[in-house]
Amino acid sequence: MGGSTSWGAGDAASFGWERLKRDPAVIIGAMFVVGLAAGFPNIIGGGIQAALAADAPGVGSAVQGLMQLVGLVISSYFAGGLSLLLLKVARGQPYAFNDILAGGQWFLPILGAQLLTSIAVFVGAIFLIVPGVILGLGLSMTTMCIVDKNLGTIDAMKESWRITTGHKGGLFVYALLALALMLGGLLACCLGTIVAAPITALGYAYIYLRLTGQPIGS
């Protein structure tokens, strides 16, 4: 791996769109399954909380909190496999839908990273929002670092911060672009998010490879 190479937010989004067009079924299918699996506990918890809002609001809130924790655990498991798939796509390597099931080997480091990142961003956000945004941008490549370099939680967070140094402005612009894509997808009867989400995710894989000086698949 060499040093970081130049990239732009528009380049990342264009890359995601071009890769998605080549194999929409597998990429969209993988994103949909992962999103559904991670979000389903929150849906259940929200329904139970709403049902108990009048008679037992405390119990409903407790159930919702528990289901959010379950959702975090599930998303941490699938995050490793999904990152593996996205990196393979970005590199032009052979990949398969079953790659999303390969996250077990990185489960604990990713779970730890998600918990620590959430705490760090929350604490940073208390101080006028801006520190929280900076922390979020600097730690945004942690999962990719865990999967690609097989690092532990703390080492991956440090590596994410290192490779994003000098690039947080660009990452912020890409985050705004990704948000615009997702909002556009929501306005399109929500169906557009099925396309916007994988484009955004592939864009992040592209940025990671650029930040670490790795080749991009043709």
Measured distance CA(10)–CA(22) in Å, rounded: 19
pLDDT level of residue 46 (50, 70, 90 thresholds)? confident
Whether the per-residue pLDDT at 41 is higher than 70: the answer is yes
Q: Which tokens is 169 given?
A: 């402005």
Going by C-alpha positions, the residue among 95, 212, 97, 101 that lies closest to residue 149 is: 212
The DSSP annotation for 17-62 comes to HHHHHH-HHHHHHHHHHHHHHHHHHHHHHHHHHHHTTTT-HHHHHH
Given a contact cutoff of 8 angstroms between Cβ atoms, the answer to whether 141 and 134 are in contact is no
pLDDT tens, 49-79? Answer: 788 777 778 887 888 888 888 888 999 999 9
Task: Give the 3-state secondary structure of residue 218.
Answer: coil
pLDDT tens, 133-174? Answer: 888 999 999 999 999 999 999 999 999 999 999 999 999 999
Measured distance CA(198)–CA(131) in Å, rounded: 28
Query: pTM higher than 0.75, yes or no?
Result: yes
